[in-house]
Chain A
């Protein structure tokens, strides 16, 4: 794609230039543009003297020369277009805060630090997106991926306790948000609200959140957006670097250690990172959250070999987690559920411990990737990426056979991606790709319970093409994709009878994007995209209890016309015979960015219509041998999501910078004209960063204040007391209005403070979360039925860098 890779304007101050004085326009400017990190030359970089016609491209040695200048001091505009060769490709991979130097010996210019705009992935340039880099991510390497990105407007997380957190983009989560880890779709047990992506954020170099439907580029499931996790960029020509970090948090008495080494030679580069972290049981302002401990071990490593036009990369990562879930959330009967839900405090509170007992989740995730890039021409490239993942998950529950996992699954995911970035053709730049995706899920025996999820195999073959075209200040982007997916399912009913099903879907996904760059300071982007996804296995096949919920999948219940439409669960319905269709989404997202003096405003407005939206909702209470039990079903209805994100960044002074963020979402079940359950409420947050004058050897110091307010979710289902459901005073059927067992929690104000201090070799930080020890419950935390959120937490972290880049 012929995207503008970097476009920046910089002012050369007091630049003493090579000059001769005889005429007025005789100055000339010479320079070399080098990648400051790799020291590689950058060719085809356009250099323009601002406000003039003077223009030059760097040659293969990265050199440029502009003659006949009339002033001795000039403002330069340097732009590096997508025509760049491999050198530029290396550069752009870590461009967000790269430094470009004009070589001092040749042009006498002062070094200039510039911030380059990040290159957007093909097919996503017109989608509103935000990136978080390592600087931000490394402040708290203990937090989950979801918590780390929740500072982006329009993004939040849904959780099951403190250890299981899933990202939510504009009200959608789970299979509707695609997570790409090092270019590979994260293959895990992506169902329910209690399975978080097993990704260690300390392995990430950058995380990008795409807020529009990115299905054409990344495939089904990118319906609500995508999260792109990039690992170490494996730079070449980079001296040996090593880092060790450690930290301690007061709430949960948690600690972590991580380390990282990397080095880039002329043709080789490698990196290796490890992490260990352990957190004990967390405290709310009033009590301990029993069994909320976690332990995490992570390893990641990469190797790169660069040979002329060819570039090879291998990446491997491993994550091992043991995550405790709140003990008091397990209620095996209606009576116990009522007691748990009505109690102000969790019904089980023990002494503090690091131990993890049932209920808990043991997960191991292996990811391996091979990527080969062949840049056979200056403006064309072939990329082959192979990914293989193994995810092993064991879940333990409080039950008679508590020592045996109640869920024991292995899922193997393989992926092949072939992308061709074709040479410019007429005015079109584009990317064409073929993908193959397979998944094999197997239950391990010995759980002494009927598998909650069946064994299954998924095969998906996809082809896509994305073309973009630039005219004046406008860029158009058009994408189309065809997916064919086949599923083969084998499971067991509680009678241990076998059920089988085969089904396939073929779907077309399209997207249309438009970018208008009014001026250097104002831009508008708009993206209209379709996306789809097949219902996940839990939405289709879950049967019975998982956690505190008894839940039935779409194919596990039906209404019996012979019995007045009574609900029955005694057979598994074939998908082809059912009226279940894949979800189809149509998302239109617009973003307007305006920079005015020291203010930057960003407004994102979106509308998302989802056909056959699948959601889990309370159904009622049924009599069982354990007493009355609350029951949930998966249901399907057309739904509408619409909302806006707003941010206003202002430089109050050279040292003080503030950002206001507001996220608003409104959603509705169109079929029944009622609210949807578990939708994020309005959020307002402010961040004030104050760069404090540094002392002694410190190179930078920053204090941040972060107040945030979450409103009560007013657009929520009615509440019906469980007692009324049990005694039948409020009759509920499948067609009744949606309800919830507990009122949505009140709004709350949280206040965080963080202070960071950096010196050449040491980077240290203190942050205080929930400074006022506020008592609150989060509507999007499933544990809100049982317990408050954690109280004050003081986090200390220190990183030591053994080698610092020589420049």
Chain B
């Protein structure tokens, strides 16, 4: 009788063992594909002449392996004509995936958390004057777009070049991600950087 009891208990043990074995069985699931929104591989700056839409100047920065160890490449210089007004817009992509992920649209969607800041060779532009707002957020930049709170975004900005020529100047742009940080006065060092790029600027 006692032996029979033990037998019962062991069948219980066997039952649990099988349960554990079954749940531990091999599966072969692969993580689902994700739309990678964290990585930016390509940023293209597009200067379009307000007077002539076919007059377009482009420069881009590429980091083809995203977070990988390959160094960033700056492709092209920004060469603008003197005494002209341009509108600067962007193409921002993660091209690690195909088709590429439009991060620009993502930034537009979260406009209240983002702002673009600029820095350039002093007096390269007649408007805005100065050297940009990276060093001091209140310095003038002609933002064409605002977020829902009326604060500047910067995916579209206006630039009137000066009449003097410049060769080998700099034009830097920085996109800051400022969740719960962005205000009318927040600057280029508030929040975290999504991109921070420096180009050669020529005005001829």
Contacts and interface: CB of A to CB of B under 8 A. Distances in A.
A631 B197 CA distance: 19
A448 interface: yes
A492 B31 contact: yes
B31 A339 contact: no
Contact of A569 (B70, B177, B192): B70
Contacts of B193: 332-333, 335-336, 626-627
Given A386-B20, A443-B32, A624-B63, A494 B192 contact: no
Interface stretch (B33-41, B125-133, B147-155, B162-170): B33-41
Interface in A363-397: 370, 372, 374, 384, 386, 388
Interface in A237-262: none
B26 A496 contact: no
A500 B29 CA distance: 11
Contacts of B98: 495
A624 B62 CA distance: 9
A332 B197 CA distance: 14
Contacts of B96: 494-496
A337 B189 CA distance: 11
B83 interface: no
Interface stretch (B9-17, B48-56, B137-145): B9-17
A448 B67 contact: no
A415 B31 CA distance: 25
B34 A447 contact: yes
B30 A455 contact: yes
Contact of B97 (A310, A335, A496): A496
Interface residues of B, number: 53
A436 B17 CA distance: 10
A376 B74 CA distance: 77
Contacts of A622: 69-71
A450 B35 CA distance: 8
Interface string B45-78: 0000000000000000101011111111000000
Contacts of A447: 34
Interface string A421-461: 00000000000000010101011011111110011010100
Contact of A488 (B21, B26, B110, B194): B26
Given A412-B23, A569-B68, A331 B192 contact: yes
Given A400-B110, A400-B113, A414-B20, A333 B34 contact: no
Interface in A524-565: 543-545, 550, 552, 557
B32 A414 contact: no
A16 interface: no
Contacts of A335: 189, 193, 196
A623 B23 contact: no
A570 interface: yes
A325 to B, nearest CB: 14
Given A451-B34, A488-B28, A625 B17 contact: no
Contacts of A631: 69
Contacts of B16: 370, 386
A657 B46 CA distance: 77
A372 B192 contact: no
Contacts of A388: 20, 23
A406 B36 CA distance: 11
Given A336-B192, A455-B29, A384 B67 contact: no
Contacts of A543: 67-68
Contact of A625 (B23, B24, B72): B72
A496 B179 CA distance: 27
Interface string A564-584: 000111100000000000000
A490 interface: yes
A70 interface: no
A498 B33 CA distance: 9
A490 B29 contact: yes
B135 interface: no
Nearest to B12: A372
Count chain A CB atoms within 10 A of each CB in B23, B68, B70, B189 and give the residue with the most: B68
Nearest to A619: B69
Contact of B17 (A386, A498, A552): A386
Chain A to chain B: the 10 pairs with minimum beta-carbon distance, closest first? A438-B24, A445-B32, A333-B193, A332-B192, A627-B196, A544-B67, A569-B68, A443-B31, A623-B72, A490-B30
Interface of A: 310, 330-333, 335-336, 339, 357, 370, 372, 374, 384, 386, 388, 398-402, 406, 412, 414-416, 436, 438, 440, 442-443, 445-451, 454-455, 457, 459, 488, 490-492, 494-496, 498, 500, 543-545, 550, 552, 557, 567-570, 622-627, 631
12 contacts: A332-B192, A386-B20, A400-B113, A436-B24, A443-B31, A447-B34, A459-B24, A500-B30, A544-B66, A544-B67, A545-B38, A622-B69
